[in-house]
Structure 1
Amino acid sequence: MHETAEDLKWLQRLLDDSYAVAGSHLRSVVTPERRLDAAGVVAELGAMRVMVLATTTAAGEPRVSPVDGLFHRGRLHFGSGPDALRFRHVRARPAVSAAVVDGERLQVTVHGTAHEVVPDDALRAFLAGVYGRAAWDGWMNALPWARIEPARMIAFRNPAT
């Protein structure tokens, strides 16, 4: 876990605020006993999960693609090739949605803005820990990276599965 007490407090507020404005259908699925709190989100997401990232084309058409969703300091991060379509979309239209789904057992959905970042020392150490020092010191540190600043986050775990 790389989250500070302040990160967890911020994340809990985001989860609570997002749930408070959720529609009736979503609230009927993500019932109070299924909701994950900030500590549960951190525990479930761990360091890396496959995440489906949604971006939009210039014509407003949605595009989704799987990426490594890296959870660090309460926010999802991702990297990709410098000429990847997803980064061209993010640079032009940073509004994104992303979801980590584990069958019917787990879902974490985020809507927000992706910002391209240069990894600081803490994020570089985290990424090297996930991918290995050799990969990070090699080709990976040349990749563009982005952090999603979430405006909304809904997270649930289905205890029945």
Structure 2
Amino acid sequence: MMETADELTELQRLLDASHATSTAHLRGIIDADRTLSARDLAALLSGMKVLSVATVTAGGEPRISALDGHFLHATWTFSTSGTAAKARHVSARPAVSVAHIDGEQMAVFSHGRAETMTPEDPLWGETIDHWTAHYGSSPLSWGDDIRMYRLRPHWMVGYAWKRAELLAARGVPG
């Protein structure tokens, strides 16, 4: 868990605001007993998680693909080759939707903007170090034009079918 107290506070504000402004349909599914908190997410989302990342083509058509994601500092980081279609989409239209779904046990849904990370970013070194430790090689060594992204979410909800059971099974204090 790399989140600071301030990052967790901001994430909790985002989660609360997102849930409060969601449709009655969604709030009926993700009720108080099924809502994951910022602390829950930070604890549950350690390590690599498979993300579904949705981008939009120049013609306005949605495209979705799976990417490795790492939840760092209360948001997602993910990467792809600069030659991938999604890299072109994000460059031209950075609005994305990102979902991590762990079977029927839990899910995190986010909407926001993909921000290209650069070496000038204050969290660049820490992010690259984290990814390198996880994979055993730097993601920057995986090709000539590897892009690292961070999601700047404006909407996010976390869901657990049986929150108390999930947290207990995964050793997360409730």
Q: CA RMSD in A?
A: 1.7
Between the two proteins, the alignment pairs up a number of residues equal to: 160
Identity of aligned residues (%): 38
The residue number in structure 1 matching 2:128 is 124
Question: Which structure 2 segments of 5+ residues have no match?
Answer: 167-174
How far off its partner does 1:47 sit?
2.4
The normalised TM-score by structure 2 is 0.86
Q: Note closer, same or farther for the CA distance 1:115–1:51 as it changes in structure 2 (3 Å cut).
A: same
Residue type at the aligned position of 1:152 = W
Paired with 1:137 and 1:97, the residues of 2 have a C-alpha distance of 24
Paired with 1:69 and 1:19, the residues of 2 have a C-alpha distance of 23
CA-to-aligned-CA distance 1:45-68 (integer Å, 9 cap, x gap): 112200000000001000000001
How far off its partner does 1:137 sit?
6.7
Paired with 2:40 and 2:25, the residues of 1 have a C-alpha distance of 23
How far off its partner does 1:21 sit?
0.2
Question: Which structure 1 segments of 5+ residues have no match?
Answer: none
Paired with 1:126 and 1:72, the residues of 2 have a C-alpha distance of 9
The normalised TM-score by structure 1 is 0.93
Q: Note closer, same or farther for the CA distance 1:67–1:129 as it changes in structure 2 (3 Å cut).
A: same
The residue number in structure 2 matching 1:86 is 86
How far off its partner does 1:136 sit?
4.2
The residue number in structure 1 matching 2:74 is 74
